Structure 1
Amino acid sequence: MKNVKNIALAATTLAAISCNAFAADYSDDIHKNDYQWSQFNLMYAVGEKPSAKDNLKHDYLEMEFGGRSGVVDLYGYVDVFNLTNKNSSGSDKNDGASKMFMKLAPRFSLDAITGQDLSFGPVQEVYVATLFNWGGGAIGSDVNNAFFGLGSDVMVPWLGKVGMNLYGLYDVNAKDWNGYQFSMNWFKPFVNFDNGSFISYQGYIDYQFGADTDANHVSSGGVMFNGIYWHSERYSVGYGVKAYNDVYTLEDGVAFGGLESSGFAHYLAASYKF
């Protein structure tokens, strides 16, 4: 990363990625790296999976936020679907589908908790990592998953500092542990303009494995999101493509009467940063 100002702007869009390229040092003050950010993203998705039909579309508003306070590194968002027409026949969120979805991912720095430098090799900081996915539908019938494990910030060639987490998945509805998930996210400015704006490559991977199998589920599956975004201090616009492979371990073309759980989806985004 060549420009300090651009690094600071980049950090406001993904809480798990820090603009500091060195190992964390909390020996004198655990709050010295504190920051916070939030933004509203107006999104449009085409072909999102899993779905009973191909190329369905929906709009949604995403309220995204994150930051750092002492030992806690936080990322999260709340999605509100179908802002313009809840019952559109062309939407995969119609006919009683959940109107909202929320993700909350707090990580707790073991470096800050212990006051020790736990970095080694490319690993810059170590965390107790948690993740919570909650759907907005009826309790017991919509998504209600909790993940617990270890996380880290890792220096990766060209990408820079990348968040990596390995979790065990606890299905709160079923009250049962069900496999594992590896998650990775990144944010890389790669074109910088004289006015301080920049273009970034950003995305994430969520890969589940070791899950229970049955008539609808296979043992592994996941997604990879790749986005190209233009950022200024207050605004961003971008396009992303998400690749699915048996997402949520649902077997493609088989699960629940033939849901599509593999393929590609396209996303358009326009954001305002607070």
Structure 2
Amino acid sequence: MKKSLLALAVIAASSASVANAADYSDDIYKNDHKWLQFNAMYAINEKPQPAGNDNNHNYLEMEFGGRKGVVDLYGYVDIFDLAEDDSDNNNKKGADKTFMKLAPRFSIDGITGQDLSFGPVQEVYFSTLFNWGGGNGKPFDSTNNSFWGVGADVELPWFGKVGMNLYGLYDINNKDWNGYQFSTNWFKPFHFFDNGSFLSYQGYIDYQFGADDTFKGNSQATHGGAMFNGLYWHSDNYALGYGLKAYNDVYLIEDKGPTDLESSGISHYLSATYKF
């Protein structure tokens, strides 16, 4: 499942009116903002997919997030295959038609009332991430994972503010820990047009590591992940984008292993967005 980046464009577009100070001792609500958008998506060769089977499918995504007091929230709900049947080249055939992600982070700066920024680190968080659905079972029942850890907003040269999180993965279905994940995301406007619209390079990395090669009797990779690289055009109300996503044993599924799934390779995403 993708972690969408169009949301970062909304936040960046309004950043001029949002305070950047991490010291919340005077007002924990000074950085409050919220946003909502709908994305029409088309995925080409999305991984994992059955070996030798081109996996193309469409989906509608409702994406939302913002900041309220000490809580920084990102989330989305995907509804798959709105405009096509369950064809043989679609890995959503017989699978869940819904997937939901919620990623609330809790500002330690805001909770303690202390400015914990240092060097390039702007703000520190207790970070969580929850996934439901999207597998081969009942909706919101087949793939239930939670991630728990720490995060930070980090200022990097050229990229600007980058979100970073280090989690431990707790498998809700199996009720056990299953390694770690490092996640980072970025959004960089690099060309502005006279009408106020702009082009951006945006992307993310999700990298899992430290897992056992066998989990609850099932063989798995010990590390793997995905990197998304997107080129997007943004206006106040719309966005159009293309993303190239590179996989390596994504979700700890061994490429062409016991499940005969391709979990490594390249996929492409096309998107059209309406911003509320």
* Both structures adopt the same fold (TM-score exceeding 0.5): yes
Secondary structure of 1:138 counterpart: coil
Determine if contact 1:11/1:18 at 8 Å carries over to the other structure: no
Which secondary structure state, in structure 1, belongs to the residue aligned with residue 130 of structure 2?
A: strand
Query: SS at 1:254's partner residue?
Result: coil
Partner of 2:42, secondary structure, is: strand
SS of the aligned residue for 2:92 comes to coil
Identity %: 67
Higher mean alpha-carbon deviation, 121-130 vs 132-141, is at 132-141
What's the offset of the Cα at 1:55?
2.4
C-alpha distance in structure 2 between counterparts of 1:140 and 1:231, whole Å = 32
Equivalent residue letter for 1:25: D
Q: Which residue number corresponds to residue 195 of structure 1?
A: 195
Matched, 1:123 2:141: no
Question: Offset of 1:27 from its aligned partner?
Answer: 1.6
**Once the 2 structures are TM-superposed, how far is the Cα of residue 87 of structure 1 from its aligned partner?**
1.4
1:202-248 Cα distance to aligned partner (Å, 9 max, x none): 11100000112136311100000000000000000010010000001
2:145/2:172 contact within 8 Å kept: yes
Gap change, CA 1:202 and 1:223, over 3 Å in 2: same
Query: Unaligned 5+ residue runs, structure 2?
Result: 1-6
- Describe the shift of the 1:211–1:67 C-alpha distance in structure 2 as closer, same or farther (beyond 3 A): same
**Residue 273 (structure 2) aligned to one of 254, 271, 274:** 271
Alpha carbons 1:14, 1:66 under 8 Å: kept: no
**Mapping of residues 239-258 of structure 1, within 5 Å:** 239-256=242-259, 258=260
Which residue number in structure 1 is paired with residue 50 of structure 2? Answer: 52
Q: Which moved more, 1:129-138 or 1:18-27?
A: 18-27
Is contact 2:19-2:30 (8 Å) kept?
Answer: no
Letter in 1 for 2:275: K
Shift of 1:23: 4.0
1:229 aligns with 2:207: no
Shift of 1:127: 0.2
Query: Aligned letter for 2:240?
Result: V
TM-score with structure 2 setting the length: 0.90
Report the CA distance between 1:88 and its aligned residue: 2.2
* Secondary structure at the counterpart of residue 12 of structure 1: helix
Residue 86 of structure 1: how far off its partner (Å): 3.7
Kept after mapping to 2: 8 A contact 1:226/1:242: yes
Q: What is the 5 A alignment of 1:141-156?
A: 142-156=142-156
Structure 1, unaligned stretches of length 5 or more?
1-8
| TM-score, normalization by structure 1 | 0.91
Cross-structure match for 1:77: 76
Query: In the TM superposition, what whole-angstrom CA distance separates every residue of 1:75-94 from its partner, at most 9, and x where no partner exists?
Result: 01111110012412221111
Aligned-CA RMSD value = 2.1
Structure 1 residues 106 and 119: alpha-carbon distance in aligned structure 2, compared to 1, 3 A threshold: same
Counterpart-to-counterpart distance in 2, 1:184 and 1:52: 28
Alignment: residue pair count:
263
Aligned to 1:206: 206
The Cα of 1:142 is off from its aligned counterpart by 1.2
1:5 matched residue in structure 2: none
In the alignment, which of 22, 25, 37 is matched to residue 23 of structure 2?
A: 25
Is 1:98 aligned to residue 96 of structure 2?
yes
Alignment check: 8 A CA contact 1:199 1:231 kept = yes
